[in-house]
Amino acid sequence: MLKISTEEIKLITKYIYEISGIHLDESKKYLLETRLNVLAEEQGCFSYQDFCKKAKADATKVIERKIIDAISTNETLFFRDTGPFELLRHKIFPELIDARSSKSPHLKTSLKVWSAASSTGQELYSVAIVLQELLGDLSKYTIKLSGTDISDAAVSQASSGKYNKFEIERGLARDKLTKYFTMNGQTWKVNDQLRSMVNFRKLNLMLPFTGLGKFDIVLCRNVAIYFTLEDRKKLFNKIADVLEPDGYLIIGSTESLTGICPRFIPKRHLRSIFYQLQ
């Protein structure tokens, strides 16, 4: 395996930061080596310095994309941490639907949800399942569920709605599994109805959110932890800009916005916290 020098760690972590905003330090040497070794060798590089140079020079950005796929963490589950989904089901969706339908009773009630780091899609499909079970007949609503992620590989898997048995068996109860997925060999595929509710595309959270529109609910869970404090501040400020005035923000259960974005006020419901604009 290619060894990485201290100098090279600096070089490559700087490059990764530039292309993705993911902040890694010297302590992540092992992670860099195990995740990038195959790519470096695939490119016929004899050092990480060489590899970094090659990636920067690649106008097709193929190497850049592969590095992002390799370095981003796609740990996710259907209904990972039940708290947020209980929150959506029992508090946020009912409140929002009430507010929206009383405001314009003659229009279809519209709900816009954004999963800001959707990874391989499990979070957004879980939201779709919650909505489907809560509302039943969805024809009375205009529902827009958007997922974005920095990794092309993650976005493409999310869009395909296909999961292997290891990905699917955890977190998803048997009745939901058979109701919303179809098995084909060792793969489970999400049913068309659920698939048609969601939309995934690539987005680097470090860049401006132009053309994204406004959202009633933003889920931004367990992604800001990979960013520097400065970048977290910028990120949550931009999220505040795309959130409807009475919208809801949900972050990871061990994350905090203290000292990061004073525009958000934390509120508690049962065992979960959500944020709303001041």
Partner 1 sequence: MNTMTILIADDDPVIRKLFEKRLEKEGYNVTVAADGTEAAGLLDTMPFDVVITDLVMPGEIGGIELLNIAKEKNIEIEVIVITAHSSVDTAVDAMKKGAVDYLEKPVNFDELFLRLEKISEVKALMKSAGDLREAMDVTESSAAQTIQDLEIINSHLLMQLEKLEEILSNSHQDEYSRIEQALQFLESR
Task: Name the β-bridge partners of 187.
Answer: 164, 184
Judge whether 72 and 151 are in contact, CB under 8 Å.
Answer: yes
Residue from the set 253, 263, 276, 277 that interacts with partner 1 by CB under 8 A: 253
Q: Binding string to partner 1 for residues 118 to 157, with x set by CB under 8 A, is what?
A: ----------------------------------------
Tell which one of 170, 179, 201, 214 touches partner 1 (CB under 8 A).
170
**Whose CA is closest to 116, among 241, 217, 264, 20?**
217
Q: Which amino acid is at 153?
A: A
Window of 9-17, 87-95, 118-126, 253-261 that interacts with partner 1 by CB under 8 A? 253-261
Kindly state whether residue 266 participates in binding partner 1, applying the rule CB under 8 A: yes
Place of tokens 């793969």: 187
Considering only the stretches 109-117, 125-133, 136-144, 161-169, report the one whose residues sit in contact with partner 1 under the rule CB under 8 A: 161-169
In degrees rounded to 5, what are phi and psi of residue 63? -65, -40
Which residue's CB is nearer to partner 1, number 186 or number 210?
186
Closest CB 38 distance from partner 1, rounded Å: 20
Residue 30 interacting with partner 1 (CB under 8 A)? no
d(CA 33, CA 36): 5
Tallying the residues shown for the chain, one arrives at 278
- Dihedral sign of CA atoms 209, 211, 216, 220 in order: negative
Residue of 60, 184, 210, 245 interacting with partner 1 (CB under 8 A)? 184
Q: Is 273 in the site for partner 1 (CB under 8 A)?
A: yes
Instruction: Compute CA distances 68 → 13, 91, 267, whole Å.
Output: 12, 36, 34
Q: Which of 62, 173, 183, 229 binds partner 1 (CB under 8 A)?
A: 183
CB 20 within 8 A of CB 61: no
Query: Is position 201 an interface residue for partner 1 (rule: CB under 8 A)?
Result: no
CA-based angle 271:274:275, to the nearest 5?
A: 150
Choose the binding region for partner 1 from 8-16, 59-67, 145-153, 180-188 (rule: CB under 8 A): 180-188
Among 1, 6, 25, 166, interactor with partner 1 by CB under 8 A: 166
